[in-house]
Every structure is written in C-alpha cells, then in structure tokens.
Amino acid sequence: MNNIVTIGNKGKGVRSDCAVTLEMCETGGLQIQIESKVKAIFGNQIEALVKDMLNFYAIQNAVIIIEDSGALPFVMAARIEAAIKKLTGTEKDYLLPMLAQNNYKTSKDKNRFSRLYLPGNTPSLMINAGIHKPDGIILDLEDAVAPDKKYEASFLVRNALRNLDFYNAERMVRINQIPRGLDDLEFLIPHNVNLLLVPKCEGAHQINMLNERIEYLKGKFNVTCDIWLMPIIESALGVIKAFEIASAAPNVVALAIGLEDYTADLGVMRTKVATESFFARTQIVNACKATGIQAIDSVFSDVADLDGLRDNVRISKSLGFDGMGCIHPRQIKVIHESFAPEAAEIEKAKKIVNAFIEASEKGLGVVSLGTKMIDAPVVKRAQKTIDLSIKLGKLNQNWREEYVN
Amino acid sequence: MSTNFVKNALGRMVPTSVNGKEQVPYMGVGKYKPTGRKYAPYIASCADYPADGNKIVPSLKEALIKSGLKDGMVISTHHHFRNGDLIANQIFDIAHELGVKDLVWVPSASFECHAPLIKYLEDGTIHHIEGSMNGSLGRFTSQGKMKGMGILRSHGGRYQSIQDGEVVIDIAVIAAPTADSFGNSTGDRGPAACGLLGFALADSQYAHKVIVTTDNLVPFPCIPWQIHGNYVDYVVLFDQVGIPEKIVSGTTEITKSPDRLLLAEMTSQFCDEAGIIKDGFSFQAGAGGTALSIGIYFADLLRERGMKARFARGGSNKYLVNMLEEGLVDYILDGQTFDLDGVRSMRENANHLNTSPFTSYNYHGKGNFSTMVDAVILGATEVDLNFNANVVTHSDGVLLHGIGGWQNCLFSKCTILPIPLFRDRIPVIRDEVTTICGPGELIDVIVTERGIAINPLRTDLIEKLKNSSLPIKTIQQLKDEAEAICGKPEKIEFTDEAVAVIKWVDGTVIDTVWKIK
C-alpha cells in the first residue's frame, strides 16, 4: 500500500482550497508543516484542526503538509480526511457540525426554474453559490469532476452539505452514473441532501436500484425525510423510455434533459435553434406532464450570451418546460424572469380566476368572460399562474380585494 | 534613535516625530486648523532664463546636475502613467551613478514598475519614500528595510503637504506627453498621451527646480497647457516618457465575477432606494471592477428614467466616457484617466475636464469638490465595528497599497464601500483594523454580498431603507456572519518598530504601520 498521498488543489488561480500531502511513517511522531496565505490570522486554528484530526484517527507518526490558498475549515477538513482515509482505509467519519439552518426540506412540487451546477471539487465556486438565489444548487460529482479527483470530491460535497449555507436553495447532488453512483450515496443521504440528479438514465430499473439503496441508507442513518430524484435523459434510449422513467417511483419529481450527450448519441451537432432535439424535448415534456412531474430543460452553455439565453428560455417555456439548468450565476436572473409569468399573462389569469370565483359564488356552472365560455382547464391553468405569481412576489396574495374594488 | 509615541484621537499610537520632523497626532475630523502662511518657493528672475524661451538641455542627467542634485534632496514625480512610468527609475539611476545619497522620493503614487528602486533603498541612494508604497515597495517597507520612515498621503494630502511646506520639493521631474521648449506641457496628446497632469500641479508650483521631460516636443505654444512653462527650469527630450497602454493596470476593467456584479447591483439598488439617483446628482466610482460595474448600473437607471447626472468625478474610463457621450452625465471632472478612451475624451470633449488635487481634494483650501459629490463608491481591505477602514495593509499586516484619493473622497455626502464579506478565508469586518486610514464617522454604508450595514450615525439612510427588500443588517451581524464562516481571525503580532505613518487629509498622523515579525 502506498504511504504517501496528496489531496486537493494548489497553485496559481486556486482559491479557497488547499492541498494536503500526508505521509504515514513508522516512527518520528507528527510533523506538521503549514504554508498558508492566511497564516497570520488563522495559523493557530489551522494547526489545531490538523492536530485534532490526526488525533481523531489515532495517527501518531506522519508528515503532513498543508499548502493553503485560504480554504474554509470545511474544505480543509474534507481534504485532510480524504488523505487519511486514502492511506489508512479507516471508515470513521470526521464530521463537522451540521449547520442548524441547513436542515430544511423541500416539497415535491417546489418551484424549480433554475438550478446552478457547481463542480464538486471546486470550493471557490460553491461558497457564494447560494447568495445568487437559484432555486436549487447542484453539487456535481459526475462530469464536472475528473476521474482521479472523484474520491476527494465526495468528502468535499459531504462537508459542504453539512457546513455550507446555500441560503434555502434546494440542495441537489448529481451522483455518478448508476451503478457507480450508488457508492456516492453514503456521503449524501445522512447529510440532508434534498434531491439527487441521476445522470444518463435509461430505464426504471436504475431508479429502482437507486431507491433500494436510498431506503437502506435512510434506515441505517435514521433519515425520515423524502429524497427526491431528477433523472437526466441523455440518450436516444432514455428519450424513448421517458415515460417509464418518469413514472418509476413516487419520489421522481422531474425529468431533465442533457442535450450534449443526447446529440452526441444521435451523432448530430448541437445547434442554437435545437431542431435536432425537438422530438426529445417534447417527448420529455409529455412524459412529465403525463405523470404530473416537472420537465427541466438542458443548460445553455454560452454564459456570455444572456440575450440568447433569454430567447432560449422563452422557447423552452413555450414547449412546456418548467425550469432549466444554469452553469453561471448570471444566468439565474434571466431564467427566473423568463420563466415567470409575464404581466399580460397575470392580468389574463386574474380575469379568468375572478370570473370563475364570481360564477361559483352565483352558483353558475358555466364560466364566461364577455361573450366567451371558459373551460375548466383554462381556469386551472390561470389558477396555476396566479399561485406562481404570488409565490414569486409578482402578485399580492390579496390581489382580489384590489381587483374587485 | 528612539521614537516617542502618543495616542491620537482614534486611540492609535503614532510617533511624535517622523524622519526628524515634528508631527501632529490626528485630532478628529475638521479639528486641526493650522495657522500661518503657505509655503512659497524662491523668487526667480527672467534674467536667468533664455529670452527665446528655449529651456532644452541635452539630458536628464545634465538637468539634474544643473538643478543642483545633492545628498538629502527631495525629488518628486507624478503617476499619471501608472504602471507605465519610465522616468522615476531613471532619475535614481542617475543619482546612483553620481553617488548621491539619502534622497527622499515623493511620487504621487508608486507601482510595481518601481520595484527596481528597491536596490537604491538598499544602498542608501534613497532614504525613504513619501507618497505611496505599493506591492514590492510596500513589502520592503513592512520588513523594516527602508532607512527612513515611510509617509503615506492621500492625493489631497500630498497637495496639502506641499502647499503647507510639510514637504519641500527640491527637484520635480514631470513626464509630459507633449510640451514646448518653454516647458508648457499637456498630458492629453502625443504618442504617450496619459490624459492630464494634475498630480504634478503642486510640484510645478512649489518645487525649487522643475524639469519637464517629453517625447513630443511641439513649437511654442503647447496648447492646451496643463502645466505652465513659467514654473519650469529645464526641458529634456526623451524617446519615450511613458507607456500609455500600461495606464490600464488590471483594476480598471469591469468585473466578470458574478459575486462582484452582485455587489455592484446591490450597491446601485441601495443608492436608488436611498434617493441618491435623481436628475442632476453626482457620483464618483473609483477604479476597481466592482466600482466600474456600479457606474454601468447607474447608467442603466438613468437611461431607463430619462434622467442625467450633473457630473461624475473621475478616474475616467471608457464606461464613464460612454455615459458622457450618451448624454447621461453633463461633465466629467477628471483627476486621472484610467484608460485610453478617457485620454481621448479629455482631449476631444470640452465637457471632460482635467482637475487637480487642488480643486478636488486639498483640505487646506477654501472648500474642495469632494464634499459636493452625492455618492462615492470606494473599496477597503478591512472595516471595524465603528466603520473605521483600512486601504493600505493586508490581513497579514503587510503594506501593499497607497491611499490614492480614498481619504479625500470620504467627505462626499454618502460614502459607500462595496466589499465582499470575506476574501477566501479573510473576513473583512474586524474588531479592529490593522491600519486606520479613514475614520468611521465619514463612512456611511458597507455593502457586502450577504448584507448591508448602514452607519448608525446615518439615521436618515436607515429610515429611508427601513422597508427595503435589501438585506439591511448591523455591522456586528455582518461580522458575526463572516466569523461563522471563516472562524475568528487571530490578532496579528507586529514588532514595536514603526516603518511608516498614515497621514490624514489635514497633515496629522492617523495611524502607524508597524514592522512585521
């Protein structure tokens, strides 16, 4: 077995992270070496953390070198723990306290306009993610983490779930592909993850495997809350099986589509007009609507082109999608604005809902607006628009008082 | 030599004497009012100057020798070329060659391009620096390696100190992008155009000897003249006096960081809700990505509402120039140009005016422009619970920046510091700042991405923002929040050796920079 390992990141451009090099020795006691840009004000605390962790794992002879670029404690602890576990194989977890404000749950039909992808091994991008107010954040253990960094990323993601405040954004993790992704679950299930994204999903059997393991871990760690699933459809087979996947289990709350892999699978170029994925997108929307769950569109990858993004969201919304992924915080606002009901939409919905309420009050079975009859589904859609507008702060909860008067 | 220290009005220990000169400890805002007359340079006689107006000498070396360069003299330069200055280093190369010792360098600011001067600080050619000590020079100072004690002054404080005779310049060397042989000079044209020469104004007026260096000699008269040839002793021709492309020095590009854009957005929303953004208002946003972005948000709001600002104080840059050209602001009152669009605009647009630390910042004048600005956006490395702020030293205690116009700008009607709550692991709001550069009573608002703190003295702002959707918090809450994330920083340990002092705008000593351990 190797007796020396380096975990984490260092060097030019690395911020809020550290590299930990650990060498296990037979003798010589503990040699702790700390190089840190914050040594003047945090040197003692860094040393205390290192000592506490070495003591926790009963390591008596080792050389440990911390090269710190301003890592927050949860980051440094994750790096040290990964190094220790890699060399010793111990199963003990060094857990930082769960922040009280991180214990929130989310509901199945919660708004999911935006969800911000955060590479699972890059702390600097995680730390301020919540302040941009996405509906959800995704700690990504899959494609955004290089294969040789996947091991250390799971510790970082676990510690972030416990110790980093995402300010009420839904806490999502994209696990690795099933079956590998099953091994990620121990790092997530006991730490109040709200939702798991399941990449490259191609059938109900994967959802079932996943749920089996989730149930096992929920029992083991005494977790009672729901853990939602959002399978990502990224292949032709996945598109064909969309309905099967959407209806595989009651904790599937949405399907997302991943167009990079999907277009690769078709062997076509991904274009901005996206005609090549029209079938897939409408197929997924229909599978979702048929099962009463949300349909989530693929990310828009040109982060500098906010106008292009706005057009893209409008099309997405018109196809029936309920949300979209983002890869940059600046995309969040545009996505929220474009998915939210427009002023004219809200006005029309108010008219319809009002007419409906007045008709019911008068005991009329038929709702009409002017000379037009209003069907029940139209009322239902209008009510949805009203509810959403209230939720988004675009409409006062007591709008009817003003409206009627 | 032992130095005596006293506690000033902010409770900071400051030396009573610096480089052999008596000092007045900081007494509070507006408390120290010196009496007496301003400093005056020697009377000159036209009999000693060529009647044809041609003051050209063949080399800088000859000009320096003719100016009487000798041990202990005070030499000044300006920083309009920012990191593209080519003159300051040559002066001290010559001084070194001539074996002159113990010079005092008084730049209006220093940059990394001046790092080669460290060798002259080491060998005794330069005794100490009065102005700013940035980057490598700051680190050198913090390590206690400078022979004398450094003095940091704001742009306004520099003018004040020269005017009041605290600093007596023996030789001023003014790099001029265009000049005539009489010494009339301008910065707005020529191959090395840098905008204006306002930082050299005091030097030209008060120095005993004034040398203009230029790489673009025009026949008399040089129009416009920002520096009057009547103050000038010698003119020297150079192949190149500065690298104008290097005026743009990193902090003058708009930010792409989403966190900083959020700060900018919150700041502009704050200004809007505080009623600051209205027809005819005025603002100053310094260099730095966040500040520049705030200007963009201001422009958006003005455009949306069909309003315009009366004036913007520069540092000008392409964003401000765009506002001027679009008609969103009537005038730019510019202290230094931060990019070449600023230079072009100053040359071509009569509403883009060159100003000086005399008009804008000098505290010992009959008023100045800074108090008339509605909102100013500034930065800081640290802020304490009393809103006192630091701009010169870093969290490790090392001196890395100058004051610039920062202190002077604090006098605006609303001073706002948009700063991240923590940088990597370094919390910005502290129990005590490493170095106080500005008293909290002049700092009105701290905007961080996790909350905005309004100085309790500004009950008017607190009232205006009380129903805001912005996250208004107390500064204590912000500090607690940062410490919950980063941990509570330990106090830095310094030696008891003073390496530099920070002057307040009135020439008093507001704080001391200590040698690091």
B352 in the same domain as B273: yes
Predicted pLDDT of residue A380: 85
Q: Does A356 touch chain B (CB under 8 A)?
A: no
Q: Does A117 touch chain B (CB under 8 A)?
A: no
Predicted pLDDT of residue A397: 84
Give the closest-approach CA distance of B98 to chain A in angstroms: 41
H or E element, residue A298: none
Look at residue B91 and tell me if it is in a domain: yes
Residue B439 in tokens: 């008293």
Give me Rg for the CA atoms of chain A: 25
For residues B150, B62, B177 and B365, what is the CA-based torsion angle, rounded to 10 degrees?
50
Look at residue B449 and tell me if it is in a domain: yes
Q: Is the dihedral of CA B60, B122, B504, B403 positive or negative?
A: positive
Task: Provide mean pLDDT across the span A380-385.
Answer: 87
Class of domain A4-88: alpha beta
Predicted pLDDT of residue A357: 87
Domain housing B333: 258-492
Q: Identify which of A15, A40, A328 has the shortest CB distance to residue B397.
A: A40
Q: Where do runs of H (alpha helix) occur along A112-172? A: 123-126, 150-163
Query: What digits encode the pLDDT tens for the residues B454-484?
Result: 999 999 999 999 999 999 999 999 999 999 9
Angle between helices A73-88 and A150-163 (to 10 degrees): 140
State the amino acid at position A203 in one-letter form: G
Predicted pLDDT of residue B353: 96
Minimum Cα–Cα distance from A69: chain B residue: B424
Residues B335, B405: contact at Cβ < 8 Å? yes
Residues B356, B201: contact at Cβ < 8 Å? yes
Residue B17 in tokens: 């004497």
Quote the DSSP letter at residue B133.
Answer: -
Closest CA to B368 of B355, B380, B377: B355
- The better pLDDT of the pair A398, A266 is held by A266
- CA-to-CA distance for A282 and A48, rounded, in angstroms? 56
Enumerate residues 6+ apart whose C-beta is below 8 A from B133: B110, B140, B141, B150, B152, B399, B402, B500
- CA-to-CA distance for A190 and B365, rounded, in angstroms? 67
Minimum Cα–Cα distance from A39: chain B residue: B396
Residues B37, B24: contact at Cβ < 8 Å? no
- CA-to-CA distance for B253 and B261, rounded, in angstroms? 13
Quote the DSSP letter at residue B251.
Answer: T
Minimum Cα–Cα distance from A164: chain B residue: B485
What Å distances lie between residue B19 and A62, A105, B23, B89, B128, CA to CA?
51, 65, 10, 23, 9
B451 in the same domain as B343: yes
H or E element, residue A293: none
- CA-to-CA distance for B278 and B375, rounded, in angstroms? 11
Closest CA to B415 of B224, B317, B270: B270
Q: Identify which of B258, B485, B490 has the shortest CB distance to residue A42.
A: B490
Predicted pLDDT of residue A405: 61
Closest CA to B173 of B236, B230, B249: B236
Mean pLDDT of chain B: 95
B486 in the same domain as B420: yes
Quote the DSSP letter at residue B181.
Answer: T
B273 in the same domain as B129: no
> Chain B interface residues facing chain A, Cβ-Cβ under 8 Å?
258-259, 261-262, 395-397, 423-426, 449-450, 485-487, 489-492
Closest CA to B225 of B190, B192, B197: B197
Residues of B in contact with A37 (CB under 8 A): 396, 424
At residue B45 the predicted structure's pLDDT band, cuts being 50, 70 and 90, is very high
- CA-to-CA distance for B125 and B129, rounded, in angstroms? 12
At residue A328 the predicted structure's pLDDT band, cuts being 50, 70 and 90, is very high
Predicted pLDDT of residue A400: 84
Minimum Cα–Cα distance from B261: chain A residue: A330
Look at residue B56 and tell me if it is in a domain: yes
Enumerate residues 6+ apart whose C-beta is below 8 A from B206: B39, B40, B41, B162, B163, B168, B169
Minimum Cα–Cα distance from B494: chain A residue: A40
Look at residue B353 and tell me if it is in a domain: yes
Residues of A in contact with B429 (CB under 8 A): none
Annotated domain spans of chain A: 4-88, 106-339, 343-404
Contact A16 B490 (CB under 8 A): no
B290 in the same domain as B218: no
Task: Provide mean pLDDT across the span B484-499.
Answer: 95
B449 in the same domain as B303: yes
Query: What digits encode the pLDDT tens for the residues A45-94?
Result: 999 999 999 999 999 999 999 999 999 999 999 999 999 999 999 999 99
B263 in the same domain as B241: no
Look at residue B332 and tell me if it is in a domain: yes
Size of interface A-B (CB pairs under 8 A): 61
Give the closest-approach CA distance of B491 to chain A in angstroms: 6
Look at residue B513 and tell me if it is in a domain: no
Query: What digits encode the pLDDT tens for the residues B157-169?
Result: 999 999 999 999 9
Look at residue B427 and tell me if it is in a domain: yes
Contact A41 B261 (CB under 8 A): no
Query: What digits encode the pLDDT tens for the residues B60-98?
Result: 999 999 999 999 999 999 999 989 999 999 999 999 999
Specify the CATH architecture of the domain A106-339: Alpha-Beta Barrel (3.20)
Predicted pLDDT of residue B404: 93
Closest CA to B79 of B127, B133, B147: B133
Please tell me whether residue A391 adopts helix, strand or coil conformation.
helix
Give the closest-approach CA distance of A98 to chain B in angstroms: 13
B437 in the same domain as B392: yes
Q: Identify which of A40, A45, A330 has the shortest CB distance to residue B258.
A: A330
Q: Does A15 touch chain B (CB under 8 A)?
A: yes
Query: What digits encode the pLDDT tens for the residues B128-164?
Result: 999 999 999 999 999 999 999 999 999 999 999 999 9
Contact A41 B426 (CB under 8 A): yes
- The better pLDDT of the pair B286, A229 is held by A229
Look at residue B287 and tell me if it is in a domain: yes
Closest CA to B434 of B390, B399, B403: B390
Contact A16 B449 (CB under 8 A): no
B379 in the same domain as B434: yes
At residue A317 the predicted structure's pLDDT band, cuts being 50, 70 and 90, is very high
Give the closest-approach CA distance of A121 to chain B in angstroms: 16
Residue B4 has pLDDT above 90, yes or no: yes
Q: What pTM, to 2 d.p., does this model score?
A: 0.93
Please tell me whether residue B495 adopts helix, strand or coil conformation.
strand
Predicted pLDDT of residue A372: 82
Domain final residue, candidates B200, B224, B247: B247
Q: Does A328 touch chain B (CB under 8 A)?
A: yes
At residue A273 the predicted structure's pLDDT band, cuts being 50, 70 and 90, is confident
Phi, psi of B115 (to 5 degrees): -55, -35
Provide the domain count of chain B. 2
- CA-to-CA distance for B114 and B105, rounded, in angstroms? 11
At residue B250 the predicted structure's pLDDT band, cuts being 50, 70 and 90, is low
Q: Identify which of B258, B485, B487 has the shortest CB distance to residue A328.
A: B258
Contact A43 B490 (CB under 8 A): yes
Predicted pLDDT of residue B100: 98
CATH of the domain at B468: 3.40.1080.10
Task: Provide mean pLDDT across the span B17-33.
Answer: 97
B264 in the same domain as B210: no
Beta partners for residue A6, in sequence order = A21
Q: Are strands B415-418 and B375-377 parallel, antiparallel or unpaired?
A: parallel
